[in-house]
Amino acid sequence: MNYGVTSRKGFYLDLFYVIFFDYLILLIGFYAFTSTVEYFFKELLGVFGITKYILWDMQDVSFLIQFLVVFLLLDLLQFFGHFLFYRIDLLWKFHKIHPAQEELGFAFTRHFHWAEYLTFKPLLYLPFMTLNFSVSEFIAIYLWVGYGFTFFSHCNVRVPWKWMNYLLITPETHYWHHAKNRPEGRRYAVNFASTTTIWDHLFGLFYLPQEDTLSPDLGIDDQKNIPHTFIGQMIHPFKELFDTQKKKHSPQSVKKLKKK
Ligand SMILES: [Zn+2]
């Protein structure tokens, strides 16, 4: 964690990601894609003759209940989605440009592949649709709930209140999420929280060493294969997908199949 805010590796690329995501992807793309998901999902329900899709009209309940339900639901969906990005090979190809970086700072928070924001995130709207929230309300909720915390979790600081690590996402717990060597021989990453750590505790994925150990080395196993430029990182998952398909259909693999 011993590096400056702007002098660390990859700061300017991260800053470009922030501008690219917050203006182009979050403000325009996210809205457009979420509206498209809403349209097609309603059309699909229509095919099956379903016209009533509101299961609980949250516009009629008190603000406190609304806040609690919305906050916990979005937090759970984000946690579960984040977990799937590690477990499903296709999703991992896109997600890994985020954990492939070696030095983190506040600007790193938007260092993602655009496909992640424009495919997975719009789907998160569907449960909110059944609670009678519009696309605009959903995006407002998404930004209000997660915005500050995602920037905070990537900051290069330690929180003075240790108890906070057990309740909310903090740089300390999120740095362990980005650890190159999985702690205590775990096969996959730990600390998948996006806001609260409730789900990590519930599913046994929370990790924070008791003693004040040195911060872990950050990155992933095959990080040397990840390009260092924006365009390179955007193309990389598609290249990997193409290479996998090529290997599957190569004459050698066809021969192997025939032998079986
Ligand atoms: Zn992260």
Using the mean position of ligand 1's atoms as its centre, give its distance from the Cα of residue 137 in Å: 25
Task: Name residue 209's amino acid.
Answer: P
Distances (CA, A) of 15 to 8, 54, 149, 212: 12, 40, 17, 30
Instruction: For residue 229, report the phi and psi dihedrals to the nearest 5 degrees.
Output: -105, 160
Average pLDDT for consecutive 10-residue bins of the chain (260 residues)? 66 74 71 87 88 85 90 92 91 90 77 83 90 87 76 81 89 88 74 92 89 73 86 91 75 56
Using the mean position of ligand 1's atoms as its centre, give its distance from the Cα of residue 175 in Å: 8
Using the mean position of ligand 1's atoms as its centre, give its distance from the Cα of residue 85 in Å: 12
Task: Name residue 93's amino acid.
Answer: K
- Cα 244 from chain centroid? 24
For the record, the structure tokens of 180 come out as: 């190159």
What is the rounded CA–CA span in Å between residue 37 and residue 254?
38
Inter-residue contact 166 to 18 (CB < 8 Å): no
Using the mean position of ligand 1's atoms as its centre, give its distance from the Cα of residue 176 in Å: 10
For the record, the structure tokens of 196 come out as: 């609260």
What is the rounded CA–CA span in Å between residue 207 and residue 193?
11
Using the mean position of ligand 1's atoms as its centre, give its distance from the Cα of residue 194 in Å: 9
Collapsing DSSP states into helix, strand and coil, what is residue 41? Answer: helix
Q: Is 196 exposed, middle or buried (0-12, 13-18, 19+ CB in 10 A)?
A: middle
What is the rounded CA–CA span in Å between residue 83 and residue 125?
18
Using the mean position of ligand 1's atoms as its centre, give its distance from the Cα of residue 154 in Å: 6
**Vertex 91, ends 88 and 92: CA angle to 5°?**
80
Segments making up each domain of the chain, as ranges: 11-226
How many CA atoms lie less than 13 Å away from 91 in the CB half-sphere?
Answer: 15
Using the mean position of ligand 1's atoms as its centre, give its distance from the Cα of residue 109 in Å: 6
Task: Name residue 155's amino acid.
Answer: C
pLDDT of the residue at 29:
77
Collapsing DSSP states into helix, strand and coil, what is residue 81? Answer: helix
Residue for token pair 């080395």: 217
Which pTM was predicted?
0.80
Instruction: For residue 196, report the phi and psi dihedrals to the nearest 5 degrees.
Output: -100, 160
What is the rounded CA–CA span in Å between residue 52 and residue 72?
24
119-132 burial, b at 16+ Cβ within 10 Å, e below that, comes to ebbbebbeebbebe
Number of Cβ within 10 Å of residue 211's Cβ equals 4
Inter-residue contact 99 to 220 (CB < 8 Å): yes
pLDDT of the residue at 114:
85
Inter-residue contact 69 to 131 (CB < 8 Å): yes
Using the mean position of ligand 1's atoms as its centre, give its distance from the Cα of residue 44 in Å: 35
Inter-residue contact 108 to 154 (CB < 8 Å): yes
What is the rounded CA–CA span in Å between residue 11 and residue 117?
21
